[in-house]
Structure 1
Amino acid sequence: MAPRIVVAVDFGTTRSAWAYKVGGDEPDDKTDEKIFVRIPGDVGPAPSARTKTETAALINRRGRGELVAFGQAALERHAENTATAEGDPSDEALFKWYKTTLFKPKPGESTVERVTATSTSGDVVPLLGVMTVTLRYFKKDALGFLSSLTGRTIRARDVNWVLTVPAVYDDFAKHFMRQAAHEAGMIDKVGSTNLRLCLEPEAACLAVIPRGANNPLTCDAEGKKMMIVDCGGGTVDITTHNVVTINPLNVVEVAAPTGGAWGSTQVDEAFKKWLQRFLGGWYEKIAKTEILLSIMEFWERKKAAFDGHESAEPVRLNLSALGQRQLMDRHDLEDLRTRYNRGESRRNCVDGKGFMVILPTTLVTSFFTPTLDSIARCLRGIKGGSGLRNLHRVFVVGGFSRCPLLMQVVRAELQHASCRVVEVSEPDIAIVRGAVKYFDESAVFNSRRARLTYGASVLHAFDEKNAEHRRRRDAGETLKYDDRDEVMVDGCFFPHIRIGENVPTNGVTSRENYTPVSLENETNCIQVYASSARDPAFVDEDSCFKLGTVSFPLDMTKKTRQERAYRVEFTFGGPELTVKILHRTEEKQIADAVMTLSRVPKSYDGISGGL
């Protein structure tokens, strides 16, 4: 029998990698040693100095939109084509940071097909196509490498795939990623169990929480809470779990995942805006060249090491490439420094001679401030929650966590005598390594918190004492059936599970009995709704939105409404909600439907996560 293969793809906002494990069905103490991380496109395992590649896709505009290059190779080819006559840049479009599109929907993007991505040159194309060619590239790279490694042909169906997703993705975004994986040929159907979606902080949890009974970090962790703060390029995701047992690890989610679009790319954008303001018209001359690429690579290194101390070395930006390309001379740059400093406070004035521009610490700190302030506010809000008592350890992961300034913020907000903030070794690959484990160890997370309230639209008997009932009666929104004495109010929200409640990860969450409102109806339907409120009264409230409808026949051989009663069962699994209708006494299934969950409306930007 061929050894079992697990491949995890960490498709990040700014940087990506994949990891694999061959053989071994059961997790053991040696699991970490069996997991190997790879940079897509490289020949060997990922070197420690470069554990990921850029998430950048260069796509041919003509034909069927094939992927021309990915990662660093895509950036370099795009820069070369733009700067020389060797390639026609009009034939190729570069896409960066396109994963953030799923976190920040545009108006009208309510279906998979309508979500778009925008290239660096302004091309607007379906995001599904860009995601699909990217995941197809990962699939091809993984299958090719594994075939060489094992000496046999490895097909997609031979692999157990794991795809990481941010905890702040809504259900629609998760379904989108599964659809893209299907289009890429990773799985033969969208609902295939050969693919598991793994929340990035949960992957990190599996990678960084020590299991040993004698480990000083976790030896007394049982009954206490562990937090994962995942600081990536696009988002900061935060999850908190109560540790039931440490060996084997078993945890319960104590608060819904939270976070926001406060990744390192926000700091990059602030630096880029400053550069644009400093260079003025010259910025456009380098915007699509290897010069800007080189400047941003330099900034990436400085950003990761910057600690914000007044005594720290200022950032020295070398712009000699502009002189080498004869775009400007030393006098032009001196004029830029003089002009810029006229409008700045002394603390933010730049210095330098020739092509060197020296940025003071206060100016560089200002690039970080808005993003770090947002993270601090979020952590402060979490810390104030009653569910966060007994917070024992905070593990900080993700590439952005290498930044000393960020770690200062996390420690200032969360570290105290009984809670330690832990810096993780190799934080940028913790997620992809943990994601490999997730395929076998997802049962570690035995329950999660519902992100929304889920329920159905029902009729209630009219209540004269209820002001809203009276208003709806006066507006003609009540119903009267010939075979019933009472007047009914339509559109009432009947909750199956409320926001914040524990949802078991092993299936059925809620069963409720329903009775037909009238003997006149031969068929019935359940309209399923979700709400960001805990106890909505009506489905047309601002907090509510519709997920779908399940229609089914009623048994007309039964004579009473009670005999025609049915049971509605809600089952949460992965990124979908399954609603089943069963006969109440015979337990025979009448109908079911999988809610291909619609995009959470834009007004619910504060809602994080799935379920």
Structure 2
Amino acid sequence: METMEVFREEDKLEYLSLCREFEMKKRDIRPDSKAKCTIRVPVCLIERLQDVKGMSLKEVSSSNKSIVWVGDKLRLDAETAKSFFTEASRQIIDHISGIFEESAVVGTEAIVMVGDFSESPMLQEAIKTAFPNMTVIIPNEAGVAVLKGAVQFGFNPQVISPRIGRFTYGVSTNKRFRPHTDPEDKKQIVNGIMYCRKRFGKHVERGQSIEQGEVSEQQTYNPLTADQNRIILPIYVSLSIDPQYVDEEDCTYLGDLEVDMSDIQGGCEREVVVGMRFGGPDIAVEAIVKATGEIVNARFNCLR
């Protein structure tokens, strides 16, 4: 590992060349392969090994009968080459299995494999074996499928309809203090009323299916003071499904939601219903004064 670290830092072009060599080989190695796999090794890596370990590559590999050193090339027997895919395939299968346990994907009948690694016959066979009841779809040029999809989405965001929320989205808000539930250090008294600061007001739950243009679960907010002319709601995302406070470890500040409330008639009784509209490249915000139905100017500010 020490030799590879030095090689990666000091000989970047040769390191990338070696990576490309493996990139090509992973498409050639198949479950039924019998032939040896030949990999060209950059000369500078051989020199780095000599400098760091004081041994030649041939000396290092001499005890392993499945690896043969020939000139500037390593020749691996078929089983050794195939073993390189075992751990990566296992982790991918475990990840997919975890996704299938989520309620949002119940009833899924097909797996679409995209990305460079999806072109590997070894990974394809591992996926098909692990999920025999699934239809496994591998498009032509799977390696550039993600790029093509990104370009299409850039021109037409409506090309992707339902999405699965990667995070739980919500706002930092003050809610009535709950004795014996909320921590004392979050207690705040405003106009004689006890509030809990930094409560997570959830709008979208992680794993929730969101249709194109759908407005998230709406929440109602009030100003804390009678002369307050705007509400600033800090937006947070969380990896937790049901976060309680925005200062929890897995919560991340995203930006501010600013709601204009310049009409101060009604004081603290003014109510604004806020929802987030997902689906496009941005998060659009919809804010409506509850009493009148008036649409309030609200914008999502990620620059702070």
TM-score strictly above 0.5 = yes
Stretches of structure 1 lacking an aligned partner (at least 5 in a row): 1-272, 328-334, 599-611
Mapped to 2, the partners of 1:493 and 1:384 lie a distance apart of: 26
1:480 aligns with 2:189: yes
Matched, 1:427 2:152: no
**Aligned-pair CA distance for 1:314:** 0.8
Q: Which residues in structure 2 correspond to 1:600-611 (within 5 Å)?
A: none
Mapping for residues 34-49 of structure 1, pairs under 5 Å:
none
Partner-residue secondary structure (3-state), 2:223: coil
The residue that corresponds to 2:302 in the other structure is 596
Aligned to 2:84, the other structure's residue is in SS state: helix
Write the distance in 2 (CA, Å) between the matches of 1:289 and 1:435. 28
Identity of aligned residues (%): 22
Structure 1 pair 566/338, CA: closer, same or farther in 2 (3 Å)?
Answer: closer
Instruction: Measure the CA separation in 2 of the matches of 1:426 and 1:522.
Output: 55
**SS of corresponding position for 1:316:** strand
Change (3 A) 1:457 1:353: closer
Residue of structure 2 aligned with 1:304, choices 19, 27, 34: 27
Q: Does 1:585 align with 2:291?
A: yes
Offset of residue 389 of structure 1? 4.2
AA matched with 2:216? T
Match of 1:375 among 87, 92, 99: 92
- Tell me what 1:341 maps to: 61
Secondary structure of the structure 2 residue equivalent to 1:569? strand
Residue 515 (structure 1) aligned to one of 222, 226, 247: 222
Shift of the alpha carbon at 1:505? 1.6
Q: Kindly state the Cα deviation for residue 438 of structure 1 after the two structures are TM-superposed.
A: 4.8
CA gap of 1:368–1:521, structure 2 versus 1, over 3 A, is: same
TM-score for both structures, normalised by structure 1 = 0.41
* Residue 305 (structure 1) shift: 0.6
Cross-structure match for 1:531: 238
Question: Which residue of 169, 175, 181 maps to 1:460?
Answer: 175
Return the TM-score normalized by structure 2: 0.76
Letter in 2 for 1:397: V
Going from structure 1 to structure 2, the CA distance change for 1:499 and 1:394 (only over 3 Å counts) comes to closer
Amino acid at match of 1:587: G
Whole-angstrom CA distance in 2 between matches of 1:428 and 1:458? 44
- Aligned pair partner of 1:570 in 256, 276, 288: 276
State the alpha-carbon separation in 1 of the partners of residues 303 and 130 from structure 2: 36
RCO comparison, higher one (Cα < 8 Å, 6+): 1
**Match status 1:548 vs 2:255:** yes
Q: What is the CA distance between 1:299 and its match in structure 2?
A: 4.0
5+ residue gaps, structure 2, are 48-54
What value does the CA root-mean-square deviation take over the aligned residues?
3.7
Match of 1:405 among 122, 135, 157: 122
Cα distance change, pair 299–573 in 1 and its aligned pair in 2 (3 A): closer
Query: What is the CA–CA distance in structure 1 between the aligned matches of 2:132 and 2:286, rounded to whole Å?
Result: 46
Please tell me the residue identity of whatever aligns with 2:161.
Answer: N
Alpha-carbon distance in structure 2 between the residues aligned to 1:509 and 1:517: 24
Local SS of the residue matching 2:140:
coil
Distance 1:505 1:293, change over 3 A: closer
Does the CA-based 8 Å contact 1:510-1:571 persist in structure 2? no
2-side partners of 1:552 and 1:362: how far apart?
66
Kindly state the Cα deviation for residue 313 of structure 1 after the two structures are TM-superposed: 0.7
Q: 1:425 to 1:359 in 2, by over 3 A?
A: same
* Contact 1:447–1:503 (8 Å) recurs in 2: yes
Q: Is the 8 A contact 1:524 1:554 kept in 2?
A: no
